[in-house]
Amino acid sequence: MFEPAPDPDPAGLGPLRQEIAEGCRVLAARRLAPGVLGHISVRVDAARLLIRCRGPHERGLAYTTAEDVRLVDPAGRPGAEGELAGGHTAPYELPLHARILERRPDVACVVHAHPRDVVVADLAGLPILPVVGAYDIPGAALAAAGVPVYPRAALIHTPGLADEVADALGRRNAVVMRGHGLTTVGASVAEAVLRAASVQAIASISLAVAAAGGTPRAIPDEDLAELPNLGSGLNLGAAWRHELARLHEGELP
């Protein structure tokens, strides 16, 4: 008697795994997560999350596939049968994702990246300010709302350290981690990744201004007030399609 093949994706998480994998590759293409450092997570339910894991043949974020994205619980245990098979392991900084997701029910995705210019700007004493306006409207709004700094350069591998980062983040959408990197949150992979890209862009511009002998300054409040919300169709939809097109065409950053 004919036996149907087992469903390779019984939980229906395949598209979300692919979305996380693409987000990781965008981070790498934008030089926000060089090498093997960095990860993206998405809440699946109250007890499980999908997260970019390391496998036995790790090649770095630029080469992430859906196979690298595994379902785990907040302690790093498999969230379903076989999820950590083949030598895959959850990242050491899983608590960073788990604690933020638990404490921020308004967000679904956490991005942790290591953008060099963000780290350098913070070490140089340059905060993330809304130094640009129409150049990057979502970035200006993000910076105007405040991007706090977590002052420790530790690996966030315990719930206690993760709670410290979550405390620093508060209700905002990005936190700089001194001597370490950046964590952003969003309602989707696209939103959290694009927020990380905006913080990196502002840090890079601020460094360039300082290198030219200037002082990065926030644009006036009246200019901020004239920056309309262009809507998710442009800020997220079109912007994310652009990032994915760059990936698929093999365009260098």
Among 19, 22, 83, 93, the one annotated catalytic: 93
Identify the CA nearest to 53 among candidates 29, 36, 34, 35: 36
Taking the C-alpha atoms of residue 80 and residue 57, their distance in angstroms, rounded to an integer, is 22
For the beta carbon of residue 244, count every other beta carbon within 10 angstroms.
15
Identify the CA nearest to 25 among candidates 249, 185, 244, 198: 244
Known catalytic residue at 164? no
Q: Which residues are catalytic?
A: 93
